[in-house]
Amino acid sequence: MKIKAYGSREDVGVALTGDIVALAGLKDTITGETLCGPESLVMLEQMDFPDPVIKIAIEPKTKADIGKMAAGLVKLAQEDPFFHFSRDEEINQTVIEGMGELHLEIIVDRLKREYKVEANVGAPQVNYRESISKISQVRYVHLEITSSQQHCLHLQAVLNSLVTPIFHFSSMSLTWLNTRKCMHEELLAPFVP
C-alpha cells in the first residue's frame, strides 16, 4: 500500500479515514467498487457516470489483431466507466465512445502500447435507409400477343407509407381482350414470380 503526499510515495501498512492511497496488483476490482474488511461490511452507493459525447469507428490494421483488439476494448471498458464500445453489425464497424477526442486518443494509444494493436480510426459510417414518403398510385397494362390471341394484364398498385414499408395492391384485374373473360389463374401464373 502506498500513500502519495506532495509528489512523494512511501509504503504504509495501514490507511485511515481521509488518507489517499494507491493499491497495486488488484486484478478483480473495477472503478466504483467498495473495499472493506471482512469484519465490517460496507457498500457505498454506486456512482453515476455521464453518457459519452463522441463516437469514432475503429478497426484493426490486420485481421490477426481482431481478437487482441476485442480483448483490449473489454478490459479498457471495465477500467474506465466513461468509455463504451459497441459493434454495429449493419455497417460492420466497431464504434468506441468517450468523453472527448483526447479521451479516445488515449484509449487508442493504450490499445497500441498495452495490447500491441495497431488500429485505424475514423468517423463512423451512417446507415441510410429508404422509405416510401407519400401515397403513390401506379397503373400498368401488359399486353402479350400470341399467334391467335391477345392477353392483357391490368395492374393497379397503391404504395402507402407505413412504419414497416410494404407493398399493398388495392386491385388487380386480368382480362382476356378477345372474350372479355376474367382468367385469373391461367393468366396470372406467367406474370407472378
Number of H helices, E strands in the chain: 3, 10
Question: What does the mean pLDDT of the chain come to?
Answer: 77
Query: What three-state secondary structure class fits 170?
Result: strand
Q: What is the pLDDT of residues 133-162, one digit of tens each?
A: 777 888 888 888 777 777 787 888 877 766
Question: Given its phi and psi angles, is residue 92 left (phi above 0), alpha (psi -120 to 50 degrees) or beta?
Answer: left
pLDDT tens, residue by residue, 44-102: 888 888 889 999 999 999 988 999 999 999 999 988 889 999 998 888 889 999 999 99
Contact 46, 81 (CB under 8 A): no
Beta bridge partners of 158: 137, 168
Q: What is the pLDDT of residue 145?
A: 78
| pLDDT confidence of residue 154 | 80
pTM check: above 0.85: no
Beta bridge mates, 57:
95, 122
C-alpha cell at position 124 = 463512423
Report the pLDDT value the prediction gives residue 183, as an integer from 0 to 100: 42
